[in-house]
Amino acid sequence: MMLLIVCRLLTRNPRIQSLKMKETHSLRALLSNNIKEARRHLEWSQEALAEASGLHRTYIGSVERCERNISIDNIEKLANALGISPADLLRDNNDF
């Protein structure tokens, strides 16, 4: 009984779910990491990126945590705000 409760708590933990998403959706994790790295390169907060892209700050955070299946339209908005091409957000080994 105790094991079942612990397992349920772990699977409902957003941090654990985020790790599972990263394992199962490697392109989503790559996109997430590239957005985060490009934002940090500009020394922007999530709020600053949200304002520049016209998206909500909580949405930016959930994208960076791999919790969202982001649309191509929002990839374009984020890329434009960051001053890079949408393709750069999907490339491995970027140097922002």
- Per-residue pLDDT tens for 17-32? 555 544 556 999 999 9
The pLDDT of residue 6 is 42
Cα 32 to Cα 77: distance, rounded to the nearest angstrom? 14
d(CA 36, CA 60): 9
Q: How confident is the model at residue 57 (pLDDT cuts 50, 70, 90)?
A: very high
- How confident is the model over 29-38, as a mean pLDDT? 97
Average pLDDT over residues 80-89: 97
- For the whole model, what pTM was predicted? 0.73
